[in-house]
Structure 1
Amino acid sequence: MCDDCRRAEAKDFWRACVQVRQKCEFKKTLFYLEQLILKHDAHLNTTAIKPVPTGVDFFYAKLQDARKFVDFITTHLPCRHSYAQELVTHDAKNNTYDYKHTFCVEVVPICRSDLVCLPKKIAQALGNMNQLVVCVRVNNVISVIDPSTLKIADINATQYWRSPFQTLCQSKRLREFYVVDVEDTDFNQLTAGYSHLSTKHRLADIWVIPSNQIGQDNQEVCTRSHLGHLLRPGDLVLGYDLRNSNVNSTLLDNMETDKIPDIILIRKVYNRFVRRERRNWKVKRLIQNDNDVCDSSSVGNEFENFLEDLEEDEQMRQKINIYRDNAKQQAACSKDIALDLPPGPLLHEMLDDLDLNADIEMN
Structure 2
Amino acid sequence: MDFVLQPPVHRVLCADCGDVIEPNSANLCVNCLRNSVDITEGIPKQSSVSYCRNCERYLAPPATWSVVQLESRELLAICLKKLKGLNRVRLIDAGFIWTEPHSKRLRVKLTIQKEVFTSTILQQIFEVEYIIQYGQCPDCSKLAAKNTWKALVQVRQKVSHKRTFLYLEQLILKHGADKDTISIKEVKDGLDFYFSQRSHAIKMVDFLSAVVPIRQKISEQLLSADTHSNTANFKFTYSVEIIPICRDDLICLTPKQARGFSSISPLTLCSRVGNSLHLIDPSTLSVAEVASPVYWRNPFESLATVSDLVEFTILDIELSGTAKGKWLLADAQVAPASAFRSGGVTNDIDMDDIGGTDAIYHTRTHLGAILHPGDSALGYFISRSNFNSDAFDELDPGRIPDIILVKKKYQRRKRRGRPRNWKLKSIAKEAEEIEEGTKGSGRGAIGRRGGLDQARVEADYELFLQELEEDPELRGAVNLYKVSNKDAKAPGTEHEEKGKVAFAMDVEPTSTPAGADEESEAGEDDGDFPEIKMEELLDEFEGLGITDGDTAGE
Q: Does 1:186 align with 2:320?
A: yes
Against the structure 1 CA distance between its residues 56 and 117, is the aligned structure 2 distance closer, same or farther, given a 3 Å change threshold? same
Structure 2 unmatched ranges of 5 or more: 1-135, 342-355, 432-440, 447-453, 492-523, 545-554
- Cα–Cα, structure 1 residues 98 and 293, in superposed 2: closer, same or farther, change >3 Å? farther
Q: What is the letter of the counterpart of residue 156 of structure 1?
A: A
Partner residue, 1:322:
480
Corresponding position of 2:514: none
Does the 8 A contact of 2:184 with 2:430 survive in 1? no
1:263 aligns with 2:403: yes
Which of the two has greater helix per residue?
1
Secondary structure at the counterpart of residue 17 of structure 1: strand
**Counterpart-to-counterpart distance in 2, 1:140 and 1:47:** 26
Matched residue, 1:110 = 245
User: Which of 30-39 and 278-287 deviates more?
Assistant: 278-287
Letter of the 2:167 counterpart:
Y
Contact 1:133 1:145 in 2 (8 A): yes
C-alpha distance after superposition, 1:318-347 (max 9, x if no partner): 222122224599999xxxx97334424333
CA distance in 2, matches of 1:233, 1:182: 5
Worse-superposed segment, 101-110 or 214-223: 214-223
| AA aligned opposite 2:150 | R
Rounded Cα–Cα distance in structure 2 between residues aligned with 1:67 and 1:260: 45
Q: Residue 51 of structure 2 corresponds to which residue in structure 1?
A: none
Q: Which residue identity is paired with 1:254?
A: E
Q: Which segments of 5 or more consecutive residues in structure 1 lack a partner in the other structure?
A: 189-196, 358-363
What's 1:148 paired with? Answer: 283
Report the CA distance between 1:73 and its aligned residue: 0.5
User: Contact 1:79–1:106 at 8 Å: present in 2 too?
Assistant: yes
Q: Which residue of 2 aligns with 1:282?
A: 423
Q: Does residue 149 of structure 2 align to residue 14 of structure 1?
A: yes
Match of 1:201 among 327, 335, 345: 327
In structure 2, relative to structure 1, the CA distance for the partners of 1:340 and 1:278 (3 Å cut) is farther
1:274 is paired with a residue of what secondary structure?
coil
Alignment of 1:87-102 (within 5 A): 87-91=222-226, 95-102=230-237
Q: CA deviation at 1:352?
A: 0.8
Distance 1:154 1:275 in 2: 38
Contact 2:254 2:391 in 1 (8 A): yes
Q: 1:103 to 1:231 in 2, by over 3 A?
A: same
Are 1:26 and 1:111, in contact at CA under 8 Å, matched by a contact in 2?
no
Q: 2:534 matched to 1:347?
A: yes
Whether 1:82 and 2:254 are equivalent positions in the alignment is no
Q: Contact (CA 8 Å) 1:310, 1:344: kept in 2 or not?
A: no
Give the Cα separation in 2 of the matches to 1:7 and 1:29.
30
Q: Distance in 1 between matches of 2:237 and 2:469?
A: 36
Candidates 253, 264, 270, aligned match of 2:393: 253
* Matched letter for residue 181 of structure 2: T
2: CA distance between counterparts of 1:228 and 1:275? 29
Does the CA-based 8 Å contact 2:381-2:403 persist in structure 1? Answer: yes
Q: What is the rounded CA distance, in whole Å, between the counterparts of 1:114 and 1:275 in structure 2? A: 28
Residues in 1 aligned to 2:147 and 2:410: alpha-carbon distance in whole angstroms: 49
Displacement of 1:203 after TM fit?
A: 2.0
Identity of aligned residues (%): 39
User: What secondary structure is seen at the aligned counterpart in 2 of 1:203?
Assistant: strand
Q: Mark the CA change 1:232 to 1:101 in structure 2 (over 3 Å): closer, same or farther.
A: same
2:466 is equivalent to residue 308 of structure 1:
yes
Q: Cα 1:204–1:82, aligned 2, differ >3 Å: closer, same or farther?
A: same
**Match status 1:32 vs 2:191:** no
Matches of 2:298 and 2:232 in 1, distance apart?
39
Q: Which stretch shifts more, 38-47 or 252-261?
A: 252-261
Residues 125 and 49 (structure 1 numbering): CA distance in 2 closer, same or farther, change over 3 Å? same
Provide TM-score, normalisation by structure 2.
0.56
Deviation at 1:12, TM superposition (A): 1.6
Provide the residue aligned with 2:375 in structure 1.
Answer: 235
Structure 1 or 2, whichever has the larger Rg, is 2
Aligned residue for 1:360?
A: none
Residue 97 of structure 1 and its aligned partner are, at CA, apart by: 3.0
Aligned length: 344
> CA distance change for structure 1 residues 329 and 266 in 2, over 3 Å: closer, same or farther?
farther
8 A contact 1:84–1:101 mirrored in 2:
yes
The CA RMSD over aligned residues, in Å, is 3.1
**Contact (CA 8 Å) 2:166, 2:464: kept in 1 or not?**
yes
